[in-house]
Each structure stands twice: as C-alpha cells, then as structure tokens.
C-alpha cells in the first residue's frame, strides 16, 4: 500500500497563511479613527504592491460601489469561516436567506482551514460581524496575492439551485461593484475577462471598508447586519417574532463573563425584507451564517422548513444536499472502480484537529465494531476473501505506530487504499476543475465581456484531496464509519443517503 506522507486541506498551514489572522487582530487593536489613516493605507499598500492605473488618482470615485452592469441588482454578502464543511453549511443558509430576501448571493472563496475563526456561540464568545467580514476580506486578498484563490462555486455544484437562487462570483462582484482588479484570482480566460479593474490600493481599501461595515454604513449602499448569535436566532413565518429563544446564558455564565445578552427569535423577512431599513441597501452584509443545534434550539439560523411558502420550501429541499462539482464526483467514482475494484468499506478518521485529538479511543472503537459487523455479514453471506477498506485520515502513516491503524495495516485480512495530494488522479482532476470555471459561469456575468486573446497567469491548483476522498466514500458498498461529531462524516452520510455514486 502506497501511504501518503501528508494531507491536503488537513495539512498544517504555513506561517505565511497566518498573516490574514494576524492582520485582522492588529486592526482590531487599532482605534477606529486610525483604521483609514495614512498608517493603515501604508500597511495596505504593503499587502498590495500593485501599480496604480494612469490617471487613477485624479478620477473621482463614488463612496458607494456600483456599475451599470449591476443596475437594479441587490446583493447578499456574508462572512464564512472555520473548516470547509462549515463553510458549505453557511453557504446553504446564505442561499436560503438570499432567496427569502430576493437578493443575489455573492459566492465567496473557499477559505483556508480555520483561517477565519468565529468563536463559540454557546459560550457567547464570538467575533463581532464587522470584524469577521473584515477578516474574510483580508484572507480573500491574501489568497489573491498567493495565487491560491478557488471559489465555493468551483468545488460545489450549484446547478440544482440556479433557477431558484441568483448568484454572482465574488471576483466578478468585487470587480464590477468596487471596480478593482481581481484577475490574479483567476485560472482561465472567462474569469480574466470579467474580473478586471483598477489596481489602486485605495480601491481595495474602500471596498473593504464598505463590505465590512468598519467604516460605517451609508443609506442605500451597504446595510451591515450586526445581530449575531449572542442576541439573535433568525426564523421565518414561525409566529414567534420577538419571542425569547429557548437557549439563554445561564446565571453562572452571566456572572463569570459579566454578560447580559438576551437571545430573541426574529423573523428575517420582517427584520431585513420589504419595509425594513435594510430593504433599500444595494448590499446586505451578514457576519456568520453558520448555525448548529444546541440545547433544543439553533445557534443562529433556524429556518429548516417553510410550509406556508412553497417557493422557499423548494429551496430548502434543494440545498439540503449540494454535491461536489462533476469533476470531483467522477474522480471518486473512477478511483473506486479502477483502483479498488471490489466492494469496500470507507473509514473517515479525524484524529488531530480540534476536539477530535482527545477522542482517539472512541474513534478507533467505532472502527473495530464496524469491521466486526462487516466480517459477520461476509460469513453469513458465505463470501470469503479480504476486506477492502478506503482510509481517509489526518493522521500521517508515519504516526500510526502503536495505534489501531497500525494493526489494521499489517493484518492480512484487510487491504487498505488511500489517496494523496500528489497522485496523478488528484492533480488531473484539480486542473480539469479549475479549467471548467464553474464558479464564474454559474452566476451573473456582464452583458459585455472584455475580449482577451490569452489566459491570464493561472492561480495554483487547489487542494481538493478531501473532496475526492468524500466522493470515494460515497461509493463504499460495504458501508461507512466516520468520526462522531465530524462535519466531514456528516457530509459523507448525506452523499450516501442521496445515492450519488452508482458503480
């Protein structure tokens, strides 16, 4: 078995990739009055060493962004964070909010794992929405500079919601609305043609100020939503607008943390839809839209069904499962068919990240039980031979010594399969994926596209190993065992429930 030495998206980020978080923290330490001072401009120019366009300094620039191509459009922007699976969950909620409020959803880039961190809603310790939006902007610009940009729309197939939710790629939106150059975030020709603009540092500064809300808001321009999970749970047509949520900070937390938050359930349509202050804003900017169940309630976004509004119910039904892009799904199926070739079990073992490093015993115990169940089933069916098993884990094989994985790897009853980022299948799929330009093509495009005779210098190929591994696991006919509490395991279970792989 050819064991990989390292992991793709689970790989530890380099010191350079911590720069956006460091920048965000430094900015939060600065007084608000200094955020747009000459010192801040100097720092921004250091981050964006790009030449100014001729005559750009003398051209009057409006405070609010805009373009004739976007006339009449109203947008919804939000600040994704944490790991990829959490970012996909936020995207689903954002799609529902955009459909509800009749806005075009700005599809964000895929952020590095935990490059932007929310905090803890149950502990009422979270980054405020404006700072979160600024951190996402900073990280997106770092991805641009590093030539590592990939859109959520490149990885996730948005075709199933295209008729119900209007979208626009972040690169196209920023280029048209802010007038800034995003071509360094492109891989191929169409993206380059629709993502041009100015390279003035002041333009990036202005766009960051508008979209984050750190520079304040302007009527009719951007409405920055400041309500977060400490005070608000968004609902829709549940007849509980303004009611207290079931989950509140307990007395001990109030006393220990000296907090006085009160969580209320608020109808998102009444608060941010027609007749609200937000209605006239071109851009509605949320902070996080991540949510999860907690103590009988939801941490922030509690819109899972809409019996009174069938249009929104159809959106909810569609976004329950958003598959990966066709190239990723095809790669997983190809590996299962051509490399494994036999019925197999998939094991997703998350062992190093966050809370999971403290639960090795439970994770390995679940794998042991699953293997016993597969062996018994094979005996009942009188099918002999090896148990073929695909392993996806963040624990490098060099560290398997004295673990249950080491026992399995040397046990002659099992044949193990793994993928690594440098495998030809992964690299070829990554290149096909980026050349397809799904992210740009799936959303709103300018009516007039600038002609270009050549592709711009392409961004680096993204690390899509984890996505392909999930696709492989969707094909596991002997079953699946995942890490309890892992959103990745949840994603695989959803794929399997929807029968996305038919060998």
More confident residue, 488 or 197: 488
Tell me which residue of 68, 77, 150, 142 sits closest to 109, measured CA to CA: 150
Q: Do 263 and 244 form a contact (C-beta atoms < 8 A)? A: yes
pLDDT of residue 182: 93
What does pTM read for this prediction?
0.85
Numbered ranges of CATH 3.40.50.11350 in the chain: 326-421+463-498
* Dist. CA 408–CA 59, nearest whole Å: 67
C-alpha angle 104-147-3 in degrees, rounded to nearest 5: 105
* Dist. CA 89–CA 320, nearest whole Å: 9
Query: Per-residue pLDDT tens for 256-278?
Result: 888 889 999 999 999 999 999 99
Structure tokens at 289: 């839209």
Query: Per-residue pLDDT tens for 54-81?
Result: 333 343 344 576 788 888 899 999 999 9
DSSP class per residue in 70-112:
GTT--EEE----SSHHHHHHHHHHHHHHHHHTT-EEEEPBPPP
> 326-421+463-498 in CATH: which number?
3.40.50.11350
Query: Per-residue pLDDT tens for 333-351?
Result: 999 999 999 999 999 999 9
pLDDT of residue 42: 42
* Dist. CA 235–CA 288, nearest whole Å: 15
pLDDT of residue 63: 58
Q: Sheet of 167-169: strands edge to edge?
A: 167-169, 104-107, 75-77, 283-285, 222-224
pLDDT of residue 452: 56
């Amino acid at each position: 078995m050819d064991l990989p030495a390292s992991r793709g998206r689970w790989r530890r980020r380099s010191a350079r990739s911590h720069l956006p978080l460091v920048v965000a923290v430094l900015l939060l330490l600065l007084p608000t009055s200094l955020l747009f001072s000459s010192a801040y401009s100097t720092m921004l120019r250091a981050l964006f060493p790009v030449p100014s366009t001729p005559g750009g300094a003398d051209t009057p620039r409006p405070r609010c962004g805009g373009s004739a191509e976007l006339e009449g459009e109203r947008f919804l922007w939000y600040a994704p964070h944490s790991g990829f699976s959490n970012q996909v969950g936020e995207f689903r909620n954002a799609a529902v909010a955009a459909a509800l409020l009749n806005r075009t959803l700005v599809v964000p880039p895929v952020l590095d794992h935990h490059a932007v961190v929310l905090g803890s809603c149950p502990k009422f310790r979270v980054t405020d929405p404006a700072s979160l939006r600024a951190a996402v902007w900073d990280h997106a610009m770092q991805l641009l500079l590093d030539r590592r940009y990939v859109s959520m729309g490149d990885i996730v197939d948005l075709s199933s919601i295209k008729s119900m939710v209007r979208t626009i790629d972040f690169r196209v939106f920023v280029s048209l609305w802010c007038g800034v150059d995003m071509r360094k975030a492109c891989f191929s020709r169409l993206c380059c043609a629709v993502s041009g603009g100015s390279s003035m540092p002041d333009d990036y500064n202005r766009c960051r100020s508008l979209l984050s809300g750190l520079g304040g808001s302007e009527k009719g321009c951007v409405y920055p939503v400041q309500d977060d999970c400490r005070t608000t749970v968004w609902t829709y047509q549940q007849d509980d607008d303004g009611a207290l949520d079931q989950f509140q900070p307990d007395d001990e937390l109030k006393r220990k943390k000296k907090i006085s938050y009160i969580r209320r359930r608020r109808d998102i349509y009444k608060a941010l839809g027609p007749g609200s202050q937000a209605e006239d804003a071109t851009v509605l900017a949320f902070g996080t839209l991540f949510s999860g169940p907690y103590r009988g309630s939801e941490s922030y976004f509690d819109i899972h069904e809409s019996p009174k509004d069938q249009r929104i119910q159809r959106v909810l039904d569609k976004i329950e499962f958003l598959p990966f892009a066709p190239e990723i799904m095809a790669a997983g199926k190809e590996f299962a068919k051509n490399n494994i070739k036999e019925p197999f079990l998939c094991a997703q073992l998350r062992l190093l990240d966050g809370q999971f490093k403290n639960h090795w015993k439970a994770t390995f115990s679940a794998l042991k039980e699953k293997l016993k169940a597969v062996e018994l089933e094979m005996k009942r069916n009188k099918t002999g031979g090896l148990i073929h098993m695909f392993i996806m884990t963040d624990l490098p094989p060099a560290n398997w010594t004295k673990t249950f994985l080491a026992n399995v790897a040397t046990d002659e009853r099992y044949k193990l399969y793994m993928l690594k980022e440098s495998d030809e299948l992964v690299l070829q799929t990554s290149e096909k994926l980026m050349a397809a330009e799904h992210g740009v093509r799936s959303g709103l495009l300018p009516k007039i596209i600038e002609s270009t005779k050549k592709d711009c210098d392409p961004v680096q190929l993204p690390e899509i190993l984890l996505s392909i591994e999930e696709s492989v696991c969707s094909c596991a006919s002997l079953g699946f065992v995942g890490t309890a509490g892992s959103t990745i395991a949840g994603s695989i279970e959803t794929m399997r429930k929807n029968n996305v792989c038919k060998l």
